[in-house]
Chains A and B, each alone.
Chain A
Amino acid sequence: MPNALELRGISKSFPGVRANDNVDLEVRQGDIHAIVGENGAGKTTLMSILYGLTPPDSGEIVVDGRTVRFSSALDAIAAGLGMVHQAFKLFPTLTVAENVVFRNEPRTGIFLDRDEAAERVRALGSEYGLVVDPKARIENLPVGLLQRVEILKALYRDAQVLILDEPTAVLTPQERDNLFVTLRRLKDRGRTVIFITHKLNEVMAVSDRVTVLRGGRAVAHLDTASTSPTEVSRLMTGRNVDLDSRPPPSQLGSPVLSVSDLTVSDDDGLVRVDSVSLEVRSGEILGVAAVAGNGQHELVEAICGLRPADRGSIVVGGREVAAADMAMTRKSGLAYIPEDRHRVGTAAGGEVWANLVMGFQRRKRFRRGRFLRRAEIDEHARRIIADYDVRVAGPAVTAVTLSGGNLQKLVVGREMSHAAPLLVAEEPTRGVDVGAIEFLHRQLVEYRNQGGGILLLSAELWELLALSSRIAVMYEGRLVAELDPTETDEAELGFFMTGGSR
């Protein structure tokens, strides 16, 4: 039987990054094939290439023995590929059936045959165990069901190979188990599944074969049955994961952040943070682990003064800031690395100096009365550029020219440069390459050693395990566990993150 899909020598570079380097991949018909790798290993780029969203610099794609060239996602669909993106490509105000049949609508005359559309969705759903109400609007559905809709969309277009990008990142354990049942059912019906993840237990649980990516290269092709989690993880990281390399604990000082009984609602009035109490002392990193959307972002916004608290107290640097704005919390001794460096952390159209002084522009050091001290600001900017290895010609350059990793270093450098007693770091290494990740980790540890207290949020559990002094787990707005990273692992964290309790 020919391979359902082959990649031969795929390479792709972005400015400053070699995202894929001569990657080969063979996916057998009817397999569940896992592709694993750390963040920045090149998984997402590989998938965009496969799906016709990004053209490769070199290499070829072979589907069912035929070499194909995709110039758009449409070509990939026509070749029988179906992709379930990590960020769903659905239309929120349209119904499930409308989303599924979009552009391949059943008709009666000039009109959309809505009954037929609903019927097709229902039929596909019962065949594959993907039950969704075809008339429900997407915006009213929970995330787990959205994923079903994406899979239905691919099946409706008769995809023979389904590609799922980090499909479990947003799922509860129950939903994840259902997904695995669906994947097996797809396999039973002769379809092929490619499953991208960085979670080892999932690889072991559901896949037939595994391809490991590291630093843009495919470093191993394995049969799941004849490998072990240890081997895969060693191949993924290129080192033995040993917790001994954890930084030694530093001296604990007084609390820099005390949150007690904090309750916060989102813009729609839903309670997202529910009676949370926590404390960060100087010289420690408190990690917060949570599945996306469990209130961790609202918690951070409330602490920083970007979102009002319904109830409870937040003390930063000895000052009550539950009712304060960002200017006040910053003055009280808080620095904040936001998760979205483009939309929140920088102004692309501003110069590097303008981006580096933000948040501190009213400090005495940078102004004389109402006027900016430009010489002082430029000097400060040059120091951060040098200390944090930001690759840019000088402070007057516009920030839009910086690459993602450089921009992140700029944000981290800015926030760390004032030695605020409390640093809130949200996804500090998201979307940066491996070299930058290591650099940023060293900076965080150094900051802690200098006596800073850090509240660290990360979707990467290994990152939390590697850096944190303690890990608090958040589930549905509540803190449900506090764990010692030397005595726990990803599996236990995952258990609590998905609502498990002892």
Chain B
Amino acid sequence: MMSQSASDRLSVALSIVAALLIGAAVIALSGTNPLSAYGEMVDGALTGSGLRNTTARMIPIVGMGLALSIPFRAGVINLGGEGQMVLGGLAGTLCAIYLPGPPALVMVASILAGAVAGAFWAFLAAAGQIWLKLPILISSLLLAYPARAITSYLVRFPFADPTVTSSSTVPVPDANRIPKLPLFGGVSASIVLLAFFLIAIAIFNQRTVAGYETRMTGLNSRFSRYGGVGVDRQVVWVMLASGALAGVIGTHLVVGETYRFLDGDLVASGFAWTGLLVTLLASHRPLPLLAAGAFFSALQIGGLAMQRNVNVPWQIALVVQAVVIVVLAGRFVLSWRQRERPDEIPLAEGELTVTGEV
């Protein structure tokens, strides 16, 4: 979607620097030496078990970033990743718990179930835009709340584990859990799946006809329609893909990480929102998205270490990552996206006439 010019790269870099400086100022104001705090962060994110945790956290963050990048690239803003992720997560978990059969098959089935549930929820938003003219931006977001409510109800009542006080399902049987790889001391095998999605999306974007068409729709949907692209059908497809991937990530978070679907857990993680920031930072391109996801994961894991060691709340990581996007989107530094804005096309002779204006 974005032109990948040097000035864009520079403005991204400057935004990150600015956000880190603002974060440092906030830490300093709260009475801690920002250098030592950031030092703890780096240590915590990259050394010892930190490296494993950072890598593990990249799965949901990069995964949700990828999921949201698909519609974003086509100009469709899916703010409902959270709902799609949570519903998908529950569907996948229930499959992994209750479906009989050989573990490998159950695992595949639960990932598919997660994908289907997430895709279904995303489809509702797409259908709303096409048939009811409800903007996906709003409907996808609002749909997240009933999704939470549904999962919350299901894990508190029909599928509750009566033996624990917290509201959660019973644990996923050992055999059906997504295994850990011997990487940095145990990262979920889901990372292989994530790598596959990343490469597939990169190829789709760069090389395929449909990838070209979605990019053009994102740049100018009227142009796409004029070129014979079925834009409505495309909206449905990108939302289905987005929801499906979100559902898979939700499934991974339980079947590959926590093994119990605990009410509110997936929402509290904020992965859907961090994923959104990641795709914005990376201009919806898969490889920069990987880098941005690694950066935000390290921030969060490092933040947790910082909280343990110098008692600065880890949420400073959330502040820094939001500030990066505020600075970038608000074009507080340089002119990110400036050239894409059609209203800034210089007027030439004869073009002061705008047809259709009153």
Contacts and interface: CB of A to CB of B under 8 A. Distances in A.
Contacts of A53: 352
Interface of B is mostly: loop
B228 A326 contact: yes
Contacts of A432: 350
Contact of B350 (A87, A331, A430): A430
B350 A92 contact: no
A372 interface: yes
Interface in B317-358: 339-340, 342, 345-346, 348-355, 357-358
A340 interface: yes
B216 A403 contact: no
B154 interface: no
B339 A362 contact: no
A340 B355 CA distance: 8
A2 interface: no
A358 B339 contact: no
Contacts of B215: 350, 354
Given A306-B226, A339-B355, A349 B349 contact: no
Contacts of B149: none
Interface string B12-28: 00000000000000000
A86 interface: yes
Interface in B175-232: 207-210, 212-213, 215-216, 219-220, 222-230
B216 to A, nearest CB: 5
A361 interface: yes
B315 interface: no
Nearest to A45: B349
Interface residues of B, number: 37
Which of A349, A350, A433 neighbours the largest number of chain B CB atoms within 10 Å of its CB?
A349
Nearest to B3: A398
B127 interface: no
Given A87-B357, A338-B226, A347-B220, A372 B350 contact: no
A40 B228 contact: no
A400 interface: yes
A343 B339 contact: no
Interface string A95-122: 0000000000000000000000000000
Which of A40, A90, A398, A431 neighbours the largest number of chain B CB atoms within 10 Å of its CB?
A431
Nearest to B349: A19
Nearest to B226: A344
Interface in A19-33: 19
B241 to A, nearest CB: 15
A404 B357 CA distance: 20
Contact of A39 (B209, B222, B342, B350): B350
A261 B308 CA distance: 78
A346 B209 contact: no
Given A404-B351, A430-B350, A344 B223 contact: yes
Contacts of B357: 87-88
Contacts of A370: 208-210
B93 to A, nearest CB: 34
A45 B225 CA distance: 33
Given A345-B226, A349-B219, A42 B358 contact: no
Interface residues of A, number: 61
Nearest to A139: B358
A345 to B, nearest CB: 7
Given A348-B345, A371-B208, A138 B358 contact: yes
A44 B345 contact: no
A344 B228 CA distance: 12
A342 interface: yes
A338 B220 CA distance: 14
B3 A326 contact: no
B124 interface: no
Contacts of A339: 355
A433 B349 contact: yes
B42 interface: no
A77 B43 CA distance: 65
A350 B2 CA distance: 9
Nearest to B221: A347
Contacts of B342: 342-343, 348
Interface in A415-459: 430-433
B358 to A, nearest CB: 5
A326 B350 CA distance: 29
A362 B228 CA distance: 10
A431 B209 contact: no
B1 interface: yes
A325 interface: yes
Given A326-B226, A361-B227, A346 B220 contact: yes
A311 B243 CA distance: 39
Contacts of B354: 87
Contact of B228 (A14, A325, A340, A349): A325
A217 interface: no
Interface string A327-356: 110110000101110111111111000100
B349 A358 contact: no
A44 B230 CA distance: 38
Contacts of A39: 350
Given A338-B226, A349-B339, A404-B348, A372 B353 contact: no
25 contacts: A14-B349, A15-B346, A19-B348, A42-B349, A48-B352, A87-B354, A87-B357, A90-B358, A326-B225, A326-B226, A327-B228, A327-B230, A346-B220, A347-B224, A348-B220, A350-B215, A359-B227, A359-B228, A361-B212, A361-B227, A362-B209, A362-B228, A371-B207, A371-B208, A433-B349
Given A338-B226, A403-B348, 9 more contacts: A19-B348, A40-B350, A86-B352, A87-B354, A325-B230, A327-B230, A347-B220, A347-B223, A347-B224
Give me the 7 closest cross-chain CB pairs, A-B, nearest first.
A327-B228, A431-B350, A358-B227, A347-B219, A347-B220, A359-B227, A349-B340
